[in-house]
């Protein structure tokens, strides 16, 4: 199992950051790389989302089931797509002058002998890290720009 982490600091309060991050239906408004972002089901704290994101010239579709724990975490498990079985956990934490967002990805490439190497060096660097970094930077920009506009 491969585990990797992305982190970003956002200069805004925890409630604001979590509210915008948890509103996945609105991601295409500030993450133009999302080509598909359909919420198929919302029930209590559970959500099913079908997404596709464009990286370079290639579009990568997937479907996830998520659990939202207010002002604490959003957990997604991919149930369809290239990285079916990947577990992603967003943890939100109040820190000095803002909010820290840590996104942990756990996944496995099931190719004997070379799966870990492919996962760590190719899949992580060329795919997952790029997508996660883009989402976190766009989220940060959206929140901090909104904050500046209301001051």
The domain total for the chain is: 1
**Are the C-beta atoms of 64 and 72 separated by less than 8 Å?**
no
Instruction: Give the pLDDT means over successive 10-residue stretches in the chain (151 positions).
Output: 93 95 90 88 93 84 94 95 92 97 91 79 78 92 82 60
> What CATH number corresponds to the domain at position 114?
3.30.530.20
Q: What pLDDT sits at residue 8?
A: 98
Q: Which of 102, 132, 118 is nearest to 33 (CA)?
A: 132
Q: Which domain holds residue 130?
A: 2-149
Q: What pLDDT sits at residue 130?
A: 84
Q: What pLDDT sits at residue 21?
A: 95
Residue 138, CB-side half-sphere exposure with 13 Å CA sphere: 17
pTM summary value? 0.87
Give whole-number Cα distances, 104 to 3, 76, 115, 125, in Å: 7, 10, 19, 14
Q: What pLDDT sits at residue 131?
A: 84
């Amino acid at each position: 199992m491969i585990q990797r982490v992305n982190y970003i600091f956002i200069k805004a309060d925890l409630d604001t950051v979590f509210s915008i991050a948890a509103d996945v239906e609105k991601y295409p408004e500030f993450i133009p790389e999302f080509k598909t972002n359909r919420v198929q089901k919302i029930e209590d704290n559970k959500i099913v989302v079908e997404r596709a994101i464009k990286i370079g010239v290639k579009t990568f579709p997937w479907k996830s089931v998520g659990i939202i724990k207010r002002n604490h975490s959003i957990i997604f498990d991919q149930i369809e797509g290239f990285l079916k079985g990947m577990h992603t956990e967003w943890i939100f934490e109040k820190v000095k002058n803002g909010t820290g967002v840590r996104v942990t990805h756990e996944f496995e490439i099931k190719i004997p002998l070379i799966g870990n190497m492919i996962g760590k060096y190719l899949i992580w660097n060329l795919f997952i890290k790029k997508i996660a970094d883009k989402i976190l930077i766009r989220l940060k920009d959206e929140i901090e720009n909104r904050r500046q506009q209301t001051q």
